Structure 1
Amino acid sequence: MDSVNEPAEGLVVGVDSGGSGLRIALAEAAGGTVLDTLASREPVRTGPGGISAAHFLEQVLPAVRALRERTATGAEAATGRPVLAVAVGAAGMATLGDELRAELPGAFAEAMGVRRLALAADAVTAYAGALGQRPGAVVAGGTGMIALGTDLASWRRADGWGHLLGDCGSGAWIGRAGLEAAMRAHDGRRGGSAALLARAEKLFGPAAGLPGALYPRPDRPAVLASFAPEVGACAAAGDPVAAEVLARAAAHIADAAEAVCPAGPGTLVALTGGLFRMGDPLLVPLRAALAERIPHARTVAPAGDPLAGAVGLASALASGTLRLPDDPSLLRLFDGGSA
């Protein structure tokens, strides 16, 4: 895609699509100042073709129209200003985004006359929100866990493979390890934690019934992750088994960061996502593990969230200043309705 600098006097749209719903932002193309946002708690459906483009558009196009109407002010009415670029960050884009990549460029061009579009994995918008367009690495941790890094020439990804094959150190991983320790205590095996057992039974009922309550659940990762704060609380209270679970989680997270972090002194690493709100029980061993594995890197607070990242991508697209690298699955750029 050509990246010719040009005036960006119109509007841009950023979209963050995830398992809990959609967030849409309307912003000034120049500078990316957000004018207004809307949110939907209805996640975009998936079907045989992956993420449903039709269901996505059913939610996003009316939301953009509503945002433009809400921000209209006299002669400078937003409804009369062109939308120059749209950036979409979607969970599952890398593996389930074929239908979105096939249909959204033409749909946005027809509905809004949009010339430029970016379709990104949610890890990319998390990266853009946290670090902007600088080289570095971002670890996004929540129920799952993925690390993404770039030297601005290419992307490197580590983990994000789901709770059965990976997501090591994630909320689901911590919750499962904590529940295993609870079951060990229930059985009288080594490595058990009475404190974790007590919290597990308070949350889920008698330990012997936990497998039957958990295994049939379609939302097992979220259920497992719901126990991660209990592990953090037990670790903060001095339980050595819970503290060891978090130390192992920190090692896994640092492994992923090391795998994607570009070389060079002063490389930036950001941690983003709800997992890291657990605080010191996780962050203290994680900082130590990061210092050991990537001593050349500097950990910084994320500048913004994935919606801010989507807006930033759209603003850079509108002005032709996007520096983050194109990638077939992680970040696809379209111009004038074609790739």
Structure 2
Amino acid sequence: MSGDRAGAVVGVDVGGSGLRLQTSYAGQPGPVVTAPGVRIGSEGVDVGALAADAASLLGDSGVDEVAAVCWSQRGLLFLSDPREVVRVVSTTLRSQRTAVVSDAVASLVGALGGVRPGAVVAAGTGAVAFGSDFGSADTSVWRLVDGWGHVLGDRGSAAWVGLEGLRAGLRFHDGLPGGSERLLVEGESAFGATSHWPRRLMTRTDAPAVLASFAPHVAEAAVADDPVAAAICRTAGESLAESLLSAAAGIESPVLVATGGLLAAEPVREALEAAVEAAGFALTPALGGALDGALHLATVLGETGTVPRHPAYVHLG
């Protein structure tokens, strides 16, 4: 063994943009190291390739023995067999204890800075909320809200804001009520003539990211007193609040947190805060992200031998 790096705990967060890994030994976190993110094939997420990348990162970090690992994975509920993920991760990383969790769980634990009752809404390209009291009884709360993608849901996300902004531009183009000349001009500047928009925006595999790239234009127009853009941003913030409050329903004295790049848009953030306040709650600043949550859960697993369990969101091996 490598001495001071034996028996480390490991947090791993796997998303579409990359795999991030962090170790901790004797309470001292190491640097964050990265590898390529989720690779999806005909049978779902290629967990074997991801675990091999993580093992390589551990080797480069000088870790010979893993006391506990928490593997946070996007798409765990729909694109993988969690039991197989547990088997592959524990075998490949040779961990003494393994927890595999949905990234929603890790995001909540990271945002709250620990395992305590609360809910988080993440407003980035997409939008999803998750709340839990981390109980194990039948009356416990573990609730995922939205995250259905830009076609079916993700209300209030950057992709949603961008799409609504472009729709408003097209309404002005067509002489319909609720249109915005400014958003039409901004849309043509970003994506060319309106006749090109359907092909450029709706047939691409990265359509959510492309739509989200227009969200800052909508937010800028709202700040500049475009009433249509302002209404879009206000609805986005209120939609995010609805998802957050729904995720927190049934949790006693929940801590509510919002994260994500869209919150840099002041009109959206202010509408979210106002809607949460109107419901009798207040937002608490996020303390960390999904990787922080995964590392915290790995530490708890290493110290106690377990973490709060749920048949859909948390699996132990």
SS in 1 for 2:283: strand
Measured against aligned partners, the alpha-carbon deviations of 1:263-313 in whole angstroms (never above 9, x if no partner) come to 5775210011212122x21111111111123x1x33111101111111111
Letter in structure 2 aligned against 1:284: E
Equivalent-residue separation in structure 2 for 1:303 and 1:265 (angstroms)? 21
The SS at the match of 1:148 is strand
User: Take 1:267 and 1:164, find their aligned partners in 2: how far apart are those partners?
Assistant: 30
Q: Kindly report the root-mean-square deviation, in angstroms, between the aligned alpha carbons of the 2 structures.
A: 1.9
Q: Distance in 1 between matches of 2:295 and 2:49?
A: 21
Partner of 1:152: 134
Aligned to 1:333: 316
TM-superposed CA distance for 1:317, in Å, is 0.7
Q: State whether structure 2 residue 201 is matched by structure 1 residue 214.
A: yes
Q: How many Å separate the matches in 2 of 1:235 and 1:88?
A: 40
Partner in structure 1 of residue 11 of structure 2: 14
Partner of 2:61: 67
State the TM-score, normalizing by the size of structure 1: 0.85
- Aligned with 1:305 (options 277, 286, 289): 289
Q: 1:121 aligns with which of 99, 102, 111?
A: 102
Q: Which residue of 1 aligns with 2:45?
A: 51
CA distance in 1, matches of 2:275, 2:292: 29
2:273 maps to: 287
Tell me the alpha carbon deviations over residues 30-68 of structure 1, each in whole angstroms, 9 at most, x when there is no partner: 44x32122112x222112321112221231110111112
**Counterpart contact for 1:135–1:262, Cα < 8 Å:** no
With structure 2 as the length reference, what TM-score do the two structures score? 0.91
The one-letter amino acid of 1:11's match is: A
- Aligned-partner Cα distance in 2 for 1:139–1:203: 29
- In structure 2, C-alpha distance between the alignment counterparts of 1:263 and 1:148, rounded to whole Å: 13
Q: One-letter code of the match for 1:301?
A: P
SS of equivalent residue, structure 2 residue 104: helix
| Deviation for aligned residue 1:328 | 2.4
- Taking the aligned partners of 1:243 and 1:167, their CA distance within structure 2 comes to 19
Aligned partners of 1:104, 1:137: CA distance in 2, in Å? 26
- Residues 109 and 255 (structure 1), Cα distance of their counterparts in 2 relative to 1, 3 Å cut: closer
Is the counterpart of residue 37 in structure 1 residue 37 in structure 2? no
CA contact (8 A) 1:137 1:262 kept: no
Match of 1:97 in 2: 80
Alpha-carbon distance, 1:321 to partner:
7.1
Distance 1:292 1:109 in 2: 46
Hey, what's the Cα distance between the residues in 2 that align with 1:118 and 1:21? 20
Runs (4+) of structure 1 exceeding 6 A deviation are none
- Contact (CA 8 Å) 1:150, 1:262: kept in 2 or not? no
SS of equivalent residue, structure 1 residue 118: strand
- The answer on whether the counterparts of 2:17 and 2:38 sit within 8 Å (CA) in structure 1 is no
Q: Give unpaired runs (5+ residues) of structure 1.
A: 1-8, 69-77, 335-339
Contact 1:266 1:298 in 2 (8 A): no
Distance 1:322 1:111, change over 3 A: closer
1:271-286 matches, cutoff 5 A: 271-278=258-265, 280-286=266-272
Give the AA of the match of 2:294.
Answer: A
Q: Please give the secondary structure, in 1, of the residue aligned with 2:144.
A: strand
Pick the aligned partner of 1:137 from 97, 102, 119: 119
Q: Residue type matched to 1:138 in 2? A: V
C-alpha distance in 1 between matches for 2:146 and 2:91: 37
Secondary structure of residue in 2 paired with 1:36: coil
| Counterpart residue identity of residue 291, structure 1 | E
Give aligned pairs, total. 306
Question: 2:162 is matched with which residue?
Answer: 175
Distance in 2, matches of 1:60 and 1:26, equals 11
Q: Which moved more, 1:314-323 or 1:211-220?
A: 314-323
Q: Equivalents in 2 of 1:145, 1:283: separation in Å?
A: 14
Residue 68 of structure 2 corresponds to: 85
Give the aligned residue type for 2:50.
F
1:195 aligned to which of 182, 207, 220: 182
What amino acid maps onto 1:306 in structure 2? A
Give the Cα–Cα distance (whole angstroms) in 1 for the partners of residues 253 and 88 of structure 2.
Answer: 42
Superposition deviation, residue 329 in structure 1: 2.5
Q: 1:181 to 1:259 in 2, by over 3 A?
A: same
